Structure 1
Amino acid sequence: MSHILSEFLVNILVLSLVFGLAIPNSDDKTHKQKQDEHLHESSDGNHNTDYDHKAFLGEDADEFDQLSPEESKERLAKIVDKIDKNSDGLVTTDELKEWIHYTQNKYIIDDVDRQWKSHTGDDDSMTQLLWIDYKNRTFGFLEDMTVNSVSDVNTYKEMLKRDERRWKLADRNQDNSLSKSEFLDFLHPEEAQHMRDVVVDETLEDIDKDGDGRISVDEYITDMYAPDASADQVPDWVIREKQQFKDIRDKNKDGFMDRDEIREWVLPPDYDHSEAEAKHLIAESDTNKDGKLTKDEILNSYDVFVGSQATDFGEALLRHEEF
């Protein structure tokens, strides 16, 4: 029994290692971002402010320590001063949009720096990361251990296959190594035009459970919603999503999303996420309906922006000279 438990714990550790070093889906702003957007409204129909916190504060919002409302407001007030670039006492849509775009870019840059160092260490002279080195560091354990089940082996092999496909696309000069800028494309393919086919490929592979090369409405819903046997009824947002699939996602009305329809869903050409979120936050907090926010309006709606959570992240942003 102890041997079985030990193998189980080893496999859990290995999964953590792989998802920390390989390309975890949770780091991609593709169809996972779409899942988060669906959760902008909670299942009971109330507004889900967690989504706004992440948009306003970046991925670091997940690491926030619990603070009192007073402490949250104090830190938020300092951030508002940074957002108000012309110091006129008003936060406009453009200023808020720029801030949200900044937080998202900061997350990407920090993520690339962190993962680059995990592979190169503190050797600043390393300007290229070889595929063989990345592969050995990320998946080398497969040669040295017995995996618990066939499904585990297949999972790791699929992750390796995905990484290699991404790598080849990111490797623009085809020298089988990545510069740091190419590594950014590898980690965040949604940010690079030449990588967007792989975003569609991975979305399709994640959601298309029957492998027919398209996404049905049931597959689309199942990807973001697991029915609760104890629930009396399906949440309203799920019903709306099913209708959206039929009315909007499925352009040719054949009952499925094909590759072109998937691309338009996960990578809409004319959609500015930062602008949409900025407009939403202003609509939530603009009590006098003038289309702008005063510091008081933001602080009075602090729960929309940061809730009762804030960390040294806000102070770190204040120290960042680029914004």
Structure 2
Amino acid sequence: MKPRKIPFVRPEMRVPKRLRHLEILRWSYTVPVLCYVAFFLMIWTLAVPLKPTLKAPKNVGVRRPVEDTFEVRIRNSNFNSDRKGGGSLDEKNEYLVNVNDEENSKKDKAEILADVFVKADVDKNGKLDSKELAQWIRMKIVEHISAAVSNNYGLFTLIDVNPRNGVISWKEYHAYFLKKRGFSDKYVQNHDERRHKGLQRSIKEQIMKDKASWMEAARSNPDSLTLDEFLAFTHPESSAANQLALVDELYDKFDRDGDELLTENEFAILQTDGNGDESTVVRQGEDERRAEFRRSVDLNGDGKADRRELLHYVAPQSPRHSEHEAEALLALADNNRDGMLSLDEILAHPDLFLKSKMVDTARSFHDEF
């Protein structure tokens, strides 16, 4: 029987049993840990994309430069955010003599009022009498009305694009409204008009005001505006339709015999309905009303006012509006009662003059309507 061969084992290859046991334990811990780490890395890589899948709209909240070349001010400055240069309006920039004049935007209240005072002071005596004040106000009114009428068609064609059919729908106007405030085309297309999600409260309130004004101006179709109706929406004081409506109101109030001619007596002596068929005659201010009829209503001096004369009377360009405003400003700010305004007296009432037609004609008109 041959003896069994025993394999030769080098001394350095011999591992004690205790060490072999520790080696097995080390791998039993390491392998699961490595597997867990690898699994975690895989999950993290899948959860975090290499590139963002959604990009925040770059245009939201950022003001774009004005697309058109003129300033639009709807219902107490609807498009106030469209000023050149963008940015929010601080107190000193709220009232501007000329909203397109960048130089004026850098002036404070006192500088604006002093600049207007110097321009209105025709005789350069350091005082504004009622005539100078009325002339300046009328010039600013005529400028405002002329700009509103001349720019109406340009703005109308700018908004009437989807489709271009000669009328502006609320959808077209609302899209323009949002784009002028810096919102992207994608946001405008997907905008939920009922909820107005993502809009600031001030913008939502302005949309509600615009909607109410829209319904007043839309006479032929509540869903769209014609060219003149759009002018009544943006500048109600400039609309011929609104002026005709004011004339009809005068006839309803004063034309007691229904002949569509107002006499001096009809205009000067007011009558209010009482109980039943009785009426009360009101003679308060009769002399003043007779003087106004002769001066501002009866242009040809025949003692009667027809529709043409009444249209001139209600038109904002009529001298009577600037004269009444000048009288009101004098009554409120003429502290020394000399019948004239000094620069110090104007600076003592800055808000009164900054909100008047003397300085901010557009704002004053839109606050009235």
Same fold? TM cut 0.5: no
Flag the structure with more relative contact order, 1 or 2, with Cα contacts below 8 A and sequence separation at least 6: 1
TM-score, normalised on structure 1? Answer: 0.36
